[in-house]
Amino acid sequence: MKDEISRDDRVANLKGMGCSRKRVEDARFTQGKGNYVDDIKLDGMLFGDFVRSPYAHARVTNIDTSAALKVPGVLAVLTAADLAPLGLHWMPTLAGDKQMVLADGKVLFQGQEVAFVVAVDRYAAADGIDAVVVDYEELPVIVDPFESQQSDVVLREDLVALDGSIPPGAHGPRKHHNHIFTWSAGDKDPTLEVIANAEVVAEASMYYHRTHPCPLETCGCVASMDKVNGKLTLWGTFQAPHAIRTVVSLISGIEEHNIRVISPDIGGGFGNKVGAYSGYVCSVVASIVTGKPVKWIEDRMDNLMTTAFARDYHMTGKIAATPEGRITGLWCHVTADHGAFDACADPSKFPAGFMNICTGSYDIPTAFLEVDGVYTNKAPGGVSYRCSFRVTEAVYFIERMIEVLAIKLNMDAAELRRINFIRKEQFPYKAALGWEYDSGDYHTAWDKALATVDYAGLRAEQAQRVADFKAGKTRKIMGIGLSFFTEIVGAGPVKNCDILGLGMFDSCEIRIHPTGSAIARLGTISQGQGHATTFAQILASEIGLPADSITIEEGDTDTAPYGLGTYGSRSTPVAGAATAMAGRKIRAKAQMIAAWLLEVHDNDVEFDVDRFVVKGSPERFKTMKEIAFAAYNQAIPGLEPGLEAVSYYDPPNMTYPFGAYVCVMDIDVDTGVTEIRRFYALDDCGTRINPMIIEGQVHGGLTEALAVALGQEIAYDKMGNVKTGTLMDFFLPTAWEVPNYETDFTVTPSPHHPIGAKGVGESPHVGGVPCFSNAVQDAFRPFGNIHTNMPHDHWRIWQMANKLGLHG
């Protein structure tokens, strides 16, 4: 048999790894053919919605539902009293705490769910909500976590013992009735000693404000209990459908095989859709009660005010160094505002996520981190928003500490980073706070970044600008924002990481069809990341069938293998590894089939792009397509028919992507208006599966970073009112504010991942926020700024300029 097309063409035909394959999802999304939760319409479907608390802290003395029940179209109103006999008025949170499903005697944050009105449609439900009469008795409100730890006001009365003592929480002893946990990492005394004896110590306190992921599609679900066969089907915006199935089974008592959870298309998640919400529980109960399917879909205000927030970390740091700038120690304390219930979505052993990667990309010999979690009258949630489990906070902290140290040392901040980077030959690198970084080459990335932007030239220009400003020739100052980040993604290892006891492996199951096409199902779920495109590319390269012939399916627990879902940029590191491993199992069987067909020994054939060839005789081969057909249609001695494989992958370590970002910004000191002149982002996520998708992830993450750094926040007044509960007040950047991003890369494969890939989804956000913030702060450095908190909106920048005397 003679092969007519070249090997290069055969590789190209696969559209495998490294190819900027167009997104297969876009055909349906661009034509309005997506299938989101709110597109699901079932016969007789009802709609449920919440009566929500206007108060941030109040006793609920009475709920009168009688008028609501008379509203045309209203069928039922659920309150905590109705759920209590089922034990469903409270639910477990992902962080080992518990949370009210519906107000049980009191409310603890504005917008808290008080009653669930079930009606024939959304409009009747709204009328019903208006007719529910709730009597509140206001209680003192605490929105400040420092005040909370001193206050006599008990927020969580359910967590105080009868004798008045404070029982321990899920993460150990609690110091005060409003305290949740203390968590620490590293060596306290040695770190304090290094700092006490250091020649140079820089200190800073910073607040990483509360914000919100704000996905385009809000959270929602449809619950349908089939009373005939006892099966519950739950469609929803779930980032972890299998975990939701297990949790629903555990709290409802419905056997797990009788529950089918389906995540259809999801319109952005960003972590907002990891946790469990009252709406899910109430919809399931309402469906059981009414015997009809029940839909619940949040509106924008519900989403911004009540579902998983992000950040809200008050961080204080001390960094010690030699006069030459060699860092010798780092100390960090965090006061973490978790709101009314601890509903953070972290692996169980990490109540402050991976905040203990706060030594960043630097070889810091001694470090100590302590985090205090605190209750306040704010919405629960936490950890969401492209964060990799608090890595955003950790990287912001260290990248600000580096800048503050550079000021103290009167040194260039790029050079200070360079002399402290972990060196290439130090990997795998064991950090002072416990992590083992798998691979990295920071100096190469940094040098490439600085050379590309002409860093020296930029600094010269900035110096001239400062001189011009001081001479009264311009009112615009210039900032050069630098950041270098290391991420930690791919949770992972089951021995270290679980959520509610569920080990964090992931999975892929592949079925090759006789004609040489395939379906693969994974335990993850795309929310916009393009898994259907990229996972097919991994398989194309591994099994030699074109990506276009491989369907990727996720999100249906009746068909997909068990997995822990998509967040923490874990899909590529974990499910991507499972995909490669399952592909290799397919290939191993294909090799035996090929050898039999070619009448040679198994070891005498080798894989080449899309076929097995006889070693040394390239003209003798069987294509994967031929092998697939033979697997089903020829009786092969000693082999079962069929070509299928499944892999459950427990990664040996997480992956540590990194990147170097530079932002050049002009600031008008009289208006506070910022103009981003240039943004350069170099990302290293190891082996790159789809460069175009990576670039899309980087653009998206950077834009969200711009949002957070330059204006976005969930702000509360002293009464606990959410001041930014609509998109009029909550800043979402548009094409108007977004600069032209320049993306770049280096490739440092992960040594333990089967294809060397690291995650990338959260990197641009993690590295982007400090970069934008550093640009603002750097512009004011020549005028005496040391640290100013985000968000740097125009008004606050004007205030910065004013405080530094630049207006007079």
Catalytic residues: 239, 386-387, 762
**Phi/psi at 645 (nearest 5 deg)?**
-155, 155
Q: Tell me the C-alpha to C-alpha distance, in Å, between residue 334 and each of 488, 523, 596, 728, 737.
A: 19, 34, 63, 31, 32
Residue with smallest beta-carbon separation from ligand CUM? 271
Q: Which of 295, 465, 531, 781 binds ligand MCN (CB under 6 A)?
A: 531
Q: Which of 686, 749, 770, 782 binds ligand MCN (CB under 6 A)?
A: 686
Distance, in Å, from the CA atom of 705 to the CA atom of 762, rounded to the nearest integer, reads 10
Asked if 485 touches ligand CUM (CB under 6 A), the answer is: no
Helix or strand run (H / E) with residue 194: helix 188-197
Distance, in Å, from the CA atom of 134 to the CA atom of 132, rounded to the nearest integer, reads 6
Asked if 567 touches ligand CUM (CB under 6 A), the answer is: yes
Chain Cα centroid distance, residue 510:
27
- Looking at beta carbons only, is 528 or 720 nearer to ligand CUM? 528
Mention every residue, 6+ apart, whose C-beta is less than 8 A from residue 235.
37, 40, 221, 222, 261, 262, 263, 264
Q: Count residues contacting ligand CUM (CB under 6 A)?
A: 13
Q: CA angle 559-562-568, nearest 5°?
A: 120
Chain Cα centroid distance, residue 289:
35
**Phi/psi at 503 (nearest 5 deg)?**
-65, 145
- Looking at beta carbons only, is 546 or 700 nearer to ligand CUM? 700
Asked if 136 touches ligand CUM (CB under 6 A), the answer is: no
Asked if 567 touches ligand MCN (CB under 6 A), the answer is: yes
Q: Whole-number minimum distance, CB 545 to ligand MCN, in Å?
A: 18
Asked if 252 touches ligand MCN (CB under 6 A), the answer is: no
Q: Whole-number minimum distance, CB 621 to ligand CUM, in Å?
A: 44
Of residues 438, 434, 436, 420, the one with CA closest to residue 369: 434
Q: Is the peptide bond before 791 cis (omega within 30 degrees of 0)?
A: yes
State the CB neighbour count (10 A cutoff) for residue 553. 15
Asked if 271 touches ligand CUM (CB under 6 A), the answer is: yes
Asked if 220 touches ligand MCN (CB under 6 A), the answer is: no
For residues 393-432, which are near ligand MCN according to CB under 6 A?
none
Asked if 383 touches ligand CUM (CB under 6 A), the answer is: yes
For residues 357-396, which are near ligand MCN according to CB under 6 A?
386
DSSP state of 23: P
Q: Tell me the C-alpha to C-alpha distance, in Å, between residue 302 and each of 277, 279, 416, 726.
A: 12, 11, 45, 9
DSSP string covering 71-85, please?
STTEEEEE-HHHHGG
Distance, in Å, from the CA atom of 595 to the CA atom of 16, rounded to the nearest integer, reads 25
Q: Which does 224 bind (CB under 5 to 8 A by kind): ligand MCN, ligand CUM, none?
A: none
- Binding flags for ligand MCN, 759-798, as an x/- string (CB under 6 A): xxxx------------------------------------
Q: Which does 690 bind (CB under 5 to 8 A by kind): ligand MCN, ligand CUM, none?
A: ligand MCN
- Looking at beta carbons only, is 405 or 705 nearer to ligand CUM? 705
Distance, in Å, from the CA atom of 306 to the CA atom of 101, rounded to the nearest integer, reads 12
Q: Tell me the C-alpha to C-alpha distance, in Å, between residue 166 and each of 152, 181, 339.
A: 13, 12, 18
Q: Which does 531 bind (CB under 5 to 8 A by kind): ligand CUM, ligand MCN, none?
A: ligand MCN
Asked if 685 touches ligand MCN (CB under 6 A), the answer is: yes
For residues 385-404, which are near ligand CUM according to CB under 6 A?
385-388
- Looking at beta carbons only, is 509 or 762 nearer to ligand CUM? 762
Asked if 384 touches ligand CUM (CB under 6 A), the answer is: yes
State the CB neighbour count (10 A cutoff) for residue 562. 16
Helix (H, G, I), strand (E, B) or coil at 412: coil
Asked if 270 touches ligand MCN (CB under 6 A), the answer is: yes
- Looking at beta carbons only, is 568 or 672 nearer to ligand MCN? 568
- Binding flags for ligand MCN, 706-745, as an x/- string (CB under 6 A): ----------------------------------------
Q: Whole-number minimum distance, CB 275 to ligand CUM, in Å?
A: 10
**Cβ pair 690, 537 in contact under 8 A:** yes
Asked if 354 touches ligand CUM (CB under 6 A), the answer is: no
- Binding flags for ligand CUM, 216-245, as an x/- string (CB under 6 A): -----------------------x------
Interacting span for ligand CUM (CB under 6 A) from 71-79, 380-388, 409-417, 660-668: 380-388
Asked if 694 touches ligand MCN (CB under 6 A), the answer is: yes
Q: Whole-number minimum distance, CB 569 to ligand CUM, in Å?
A: 7
- Looking at beta carbons only, is 102 or 689 nearer to ligand MCN? 689
Q: Whole-number minimum distance, CB 484 to ligand CUM, in Å?
A: 21
Helix (H, G, I), strand (E, B) or coil at 568: coil
Amino acid at the residue 583: G
Amino acid at the residue 630: A
Q: Which of 246, 527, 653, 774 binds ligand MCN (CB under 6 A)?
A: 527
Q: Tell me the C-alpha to C-alpha distance, in Å, between residue 34 and each of 27, 39, 48, 521.
A: 9, 8, 23, 19
End-to-end Cα distance, the chain: 85
Query: And the tokens for 393?
Result: 């906070």
Provide the binding-site residues for ligand CUM, judged by CB under 6 A.
239, 269-271, 274, 383-388, 567-568
Provide the binding-site residues for ligand MCN, judged by CB under 6 A.
268-271, 386, 527-531, 534, 566-572, 685-690, 693-694, 697, 700, 757-762
